[in-house]
Amino acid sequence: MKKQTFKFSTASTDCYFDAAFKQLKEIVSQQHAIIITDQNIFDKHTSKFKGWNTIVLNAGEEFKVQATVDSVIQQLIELNADRKTTLIGVGGGVITDITGYVAAIYMRGISFGFVPTTLLAMVDASIGGKNGIDVGVYKNMVGIIRQPNFLLYDVSLLKTLPDAEWSNGFAEIIKHACIKDAAMFKILEQNNLQKIQRNKKLLSQLIERNAKLKIKVVQNDEFEKGERRLLNYGHTLGHALENQYELFHGQAVSIGMTYASVISQQLLKFKQTDAVVKVLEQYGLPTYASFDKNKVMTVLKMDKKRERKDINYILLEKIGKGIVLPIPLTDLENIISNL
């Protein structure tokens, strides 16, 4: 199994691309590890968990809350987890968030790693160390930045992934292409969801390319003072829509990217909005949508990307070149109400 190690400010992450779930045993001892997963994954892959201590959580974003964290901590105590225990999150973004967050606070911090089981978790959620929980409509309001010790990629886990989850993952892949990788944008334009689902080689290459793109951005700016902010492209408006309208994360981000392109057109003379919209559609994602502007502004005012009276909005100069533009809240209110 090939290992690639990536260094961050206080930790490093071993990545095993092209691995298989059963190789997890070669990374951590079963005796000293506890897997955290959700009921859907456990039911689909029950035999894979044989021999592992496993905590099974209810599936769904509505469970990414403090009550679940409390219950996991209680179960860790019952399983005699100690400072030498490694937690392994096997799942999508909710599981990686809860696992990374609990690992950061249990006994003031224990080791953790992830086996992402969704495309979104493979290219985004499992990478970067930001792990936390939602508080009411406020997404990821409470959390930490702490890097996982390892990431194991088993692309065969995607075989059972529903179509909506594929689109969810592609929203982040398209985001990466828009802000940093014009060549990848071309590849996405030349393909579509169904073509890539059928092309295992291209899929594996895309997953590794996106994981590495995100790792590099995080390595350059782990604590989000500069370049890492670009990863929020589509997320400012997206997060404000996601819990209010019960959208999938990818759908919300896709609508967010559409309007961020429109705002880029207004403020930066960006000329490729139609190309962005077309690619989003090719991957089954929504673009223009109607929403309650006042409600959205209320949530935006609480956004973590707000600094005093400005919101750091991520816009595009051109495809492959994202920039951070501080927009005063009052200006943003006007821009949003005229969308």
Site residues, ligand GLY (CB under 6 A): 125, 128-131
The helix (run of H) or strand (run of E) holding residue 132 is strand 130-135
146 is catalytic: no
Distance CA 332, CA 120 (A): 29
Q: How far is the CB of 125 from ligand GLY (least distance, A)?
A: 5
Taking the least distance from each CB to ligand GLY, the nearer of 35 and 215 is 215
Q: How far is the CB of 248 from ligand GLY (least distance, A)?
A: 17
Taking the least distance from each CB to ligand GLY, the nearer of 96 and 287 is 96
Of the candidates 152, 91, 100, 113, the one whose C-alpha atom is nearest the C-alpha of residue 32 is 113
Q: Which of the 8 DSSP states describes residue 124? A: I
The three-state secondary structure class of 7 is: strand
Instruction: Look at the alpha carbons of 313, 318, 322, 323 in this order and tell me if their dihedral is positive or negative.
Output: negative
232 is catalytic: yes
Q: How far is the CB of 256 from ligand GLY (least distance, A)?
A: 16
Q: Are the C-beta atoms of residues 91 and 33 closer than 8 Å to each other? A: no
DSSP string for 183-227: HHHHHHHH--HHHHHH-HHHHHHHHHHHHHHHHHHHHH-TTSSSG
Q: Are the C-beta atoms of residues 129 and 100 closer than 8 Å to each other? A: yes
Of the candidates 5, 63, 8, 6, the one whose C-alpha atom is nearest the C-alpha of residue 36 is 63
172 is catalytic: yes
Q: Which of 64, 209, 228, 305 is catalytic?
A: 228
Q: How far is the CB of 136 from ligand GLY (least distance, A)?
A: 20
Q: Which of 139, 180, 249, 305 is catalytic?
A: 249
Taking the least distance from each CB to ligand GLY, the nearer of 218 and 277 is 218
224 is catalytic: yes
How far apart, in Å, do the first and last CA atoms of the chain sit?
50
Q: How far is the CB of 128 from ligand GLY (least distance, A)?
A: 2
317 is catalytic: no
Distance CA 260, CA 81 (A): 45
Rounded to the nearest 10 degrees, the angle between the axes of helix 200-220 and helix 163-180 is 50
Nearest residue to the partner ligand GLY, using Cβ: 128
32 is catalytic: no
Taking the least distance from each CB to ligand GLY, the nearer of 48 and 228 is 228
Taking the least distance from each CB to ligand GLY, the nearer of 88 and 332 is 88
Q: Which of 146, 239, 242, 305 is catalytic?
A: 239
Q: Which of 165, 208, 222, 224 is catalytic?
A: 224
249 is catalytic: yes
Q: Which of 53, 149, 191, 232 is catalytic?
A: 232
Residues with catalytic function: 108, 130, 172, 214, 224, 228, 232, 235, 239, 249
